[in-house]
């Protein structure tokens, strides 16, 4: 008999399984809650778009467009690409649906998968996930720096609520179009005589996107760049004022930041403010997310001249480096109720609500507490199940905890799977304890 083929997830992709998916859901719930506090609303764009959208929006010379896109020709002969990033797609939707007629600025966020064909490695996948936000349009009062500062404040708050306590914003300005053109010419003039000392990749970038050479990880090229012209020297007066205003607003908000003059970000559409956020306790690979402002992108996609600023967080990486206390807080999906009498009825007069008697399991669920019930007499099996599900508590109901007539539960034994301590308590006390834990999560 021929063995059936066993399939595996495609290279560079993975299945997200429980209990890890509970952590993903909680991280996304925090994002939705925090972003809503700042007036951001969710947008969901298609998983694929016309290839030209990304070529025009992200930039023909970027690595994404040049080497990493999943593109194919559909049955209608159209070139289609799985989205490698979402800013261009969000801006396309802004133009297509006439959002420029909405009250400005328009605040949007997204959560979802992206696709890039790159070498898979730890924390990097060909199907990966991003959490991001875009503020598009001039803010009330007209200060563009206020938009940059707002989105940074929201981002820092989100990461703080996930438990990151040592955050720092790395900040720079790449200037407006005139600044970038002047700096590009200065950088090309400096590097051209040193061309033979550059890597093949940097020589290619020298012709197509020289500012990306500043991102080099090569120690030899980093040493060469020590003597390179500084972008700051090419900034227009307007760009200088904008950046100073952003810094002043971050100072006023007590947001910790440092100016990093070689930070340029990798996408062509960035202008003026660019940033990354790092957690200093993560070592060399400490960047959690990045973003920046853009002018000209909406116009490139057929809309009016419009200012925008946004960020994207790699959710796979974010969850990988999530602080352990937060992971523990997010991974409490169940309470295990174990005992020969877990199905016994509880008299309603013992509680503030009235109605038909119900089981302990039913009562816990009515109070919003996720719970699984088992009739096992063997507590080891219950503890083993709790460990598999990463449940925080096991509630045990045995013969000693049931009234003599078997009509109701007198008390329960609550075991904390982290501390391994056990406590006896009445059911009302159990409910209050578990509801308090649920509110704390």
* Residue 48 belongs to domain with CATH number: 3.30.930.10
Give dist(CA 100, CA 274) in Å, integer: 24
Pair 370, 258 in one domain: no
* Contact predicate 434/364, CB 8 Å: yes
User: Which residues are within 8 A (CB) of 148 and not within 5 positions of it... i.e. 6 or more apart?
Assistant: 246, 249, 272, 273, 293, 309
Q: What is the pTM of this model?
A: 0.84
Least confident segment among 105-114, 130-139, 386-395: 386-395
State which of 308, 326, 344 marks the end of a domain: 326
Residue 214 or residue 292, greater confidence: 292
Is residue 370 situated within a structural domain? yes
What local confidence, expressed as pLDDT, does residue 90 receive? 97
Sign of torsion, CA 207 209 211 214? Answer: negative
Is residue 226 situated within a structural domain? no
Q: How many domains does the chain have?
A: 2
* Contact predicate 338/397, CB 8 Å: yes
User: What is the CATH classification number for the domain harbouring 418?
Assistant: 3.40.50.800
Give dist(CA 148, CA 300) in Å, integer: 21
Residue 249 lies in domain: 20-176+236-326
Pair 46, 92 in one domain: yes
Pair 286, 430 in one domain: no
Residue 269 is encoded by which pair of tokens? 């559409």
Is residue 200 situated within a structural domain? no
Residue 99 is encoded by which pair of tokens? 């959002």
* Contact predicate 65/272, CB 8 Å: no
Number of helices (H) and strands (E), helices first, in the chain?
15, 18
Mean pLDDT comparison of 111-115, 263-267, 323-327, 348-352, highest-scoring range? 111-115
Give dist(CA 146, CA 187) in Å, integer: 30
Give dist(CA 126, CA 9) in Å, integer: 11
* Contact predicate 276/170, CB 8 Å: yes
What local confidence, expressed as pLDDT, does residue 355 receive? 47
Pair 280, 133 in one domain: yes
Give dist(CA 14, CA 320) in Å, integer: 14
* Contact predicate 171/149, CB 8 Å: no
User: Which residues are within 8 A (CB) of 26 and not within 5 positions of it... i.e. 6 or more apart?
Assistant: 329, 330, 441
Tens of pLDDT along 374-391? 766 667 777 787 777 778
Tens of pLDDT along 387-415? 777 788 888 877 777 666 656 777 888 88
Closest CA to 422 of 410, 430, 414: 414
Q: Cα separations (Å) of 297 from 20, 90, 96?
A: 37, 11, 14
Give dist(CA 187, CA 174) in Å, integer: 13
State which of 295, 326, 357 marks the end of a domain: 326
Pair 305, 341 in one domain: no
Pair 37, 163 in one domain: yes
Tens of pLDDT along 187-211? 889 989 888 888 888 888 888 778 8
Taking CB atoms within 8 Å and a gap of at least 24, the contacts of 185-191 are 186/229, 186/233, 186/234, 187/211, 187/213, 187/228, 187/229, 190/227, 190/228, 190/229, 191/224, 191/228
Under the banding of pLDDT at 50, 70 and 90, the label for residue 88 is very high
Number of alpha carbons in the 13 Å side-chain half-sphere of residue 122: 3
Is residue 202 situated within a structural domain? no
Closest CA to 30 of 163, 127, 141: 163
């Amino acid at each position: 008999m021929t063995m059936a083929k066993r399939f595996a997830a495609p290279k560079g992709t993975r299945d997200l399984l429980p209990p890890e998916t509970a952590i993903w859901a909680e991280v996304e719930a925090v994002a939705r809650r925090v972003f809503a506090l700042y007036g951001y609303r969710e947008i969901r764009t298609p998983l694929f778009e016309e290839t030209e959208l990304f070529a025009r929006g992200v930039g023909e010379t970027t690595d994404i467009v040049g080497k990493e896109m999943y593109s194919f020709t559909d049955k209608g002969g159209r070139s289609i690409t799985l989205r490698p990033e979402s800013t261009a797609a969000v801006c396309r939707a802004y133009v297509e649906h006439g959002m420029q007629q909405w009250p400005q600025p328009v605040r949007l966020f997204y959560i979802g998968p992206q696709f890039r064909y790159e070498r898979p490695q730890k924390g990097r996948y060909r199907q990966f996930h991003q959490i991001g936000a875009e503020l598009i349009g001039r803010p009330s009062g007209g200060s563009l720096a206020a938009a940059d500062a707002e989105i940074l404040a929201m981002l820092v708050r989100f990461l703080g609520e996930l438990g990151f306590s040592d955050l720092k914003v790395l900040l720079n300005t790449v200037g407006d179009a005139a600044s970038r053109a002047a700096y590009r010419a200065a950088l090309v003039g400096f590097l051209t005589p040193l061309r033979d000392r550059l890597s093949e990749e940097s020589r290619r970038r020298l012709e197509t996107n020289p500012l990306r050479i500043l991102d080099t990880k090569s120690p030899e090229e980093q040493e060469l760049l020590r003597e390179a012209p500084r972008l700051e020297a090419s900034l227009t007066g307007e760009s200088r004022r904008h950046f100073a205003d952003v810094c002043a607003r971050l100072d006023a908000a007590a947001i910790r930041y440092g100016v990093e003059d070689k930070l340029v970000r990798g996408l062509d559409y960035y202008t003026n403010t660019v940033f990354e956020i790092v957690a200093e306790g993560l070592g060399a690979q400490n960047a959690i997310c990045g973003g920046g402002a853009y002018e000209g992108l909406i116009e490139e996609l057929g809309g009016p001249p419009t200012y925008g600023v946004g960020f994207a967080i790699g959710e796979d990486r974010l969850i990988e480096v999530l602080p352990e206390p937060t992971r523990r807080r997010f991974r409490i999906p169940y309470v295990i109720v174990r005992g020969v009498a877990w199905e016994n009825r509880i008299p309603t007069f013992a509680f503030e609500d009235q109605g038909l008697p119900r089981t302990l399991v039913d009562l816990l669920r009515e109070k919003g507490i996720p719970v699984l019930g088992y009739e096992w007499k063997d507590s080891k099996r219950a503890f083993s199940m709790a460990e598999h599900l990463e449940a925080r508590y096991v509630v045990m109901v045995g013969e000693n905890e049931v009234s003599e007539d078997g009509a109701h539960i007198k008390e329960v034994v609550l075991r904390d799977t982290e501390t391994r301590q056990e406590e006896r308590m009445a059911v009302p006390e159990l409910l209050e304890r578990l509801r308090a834990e649920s509110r704390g999560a």
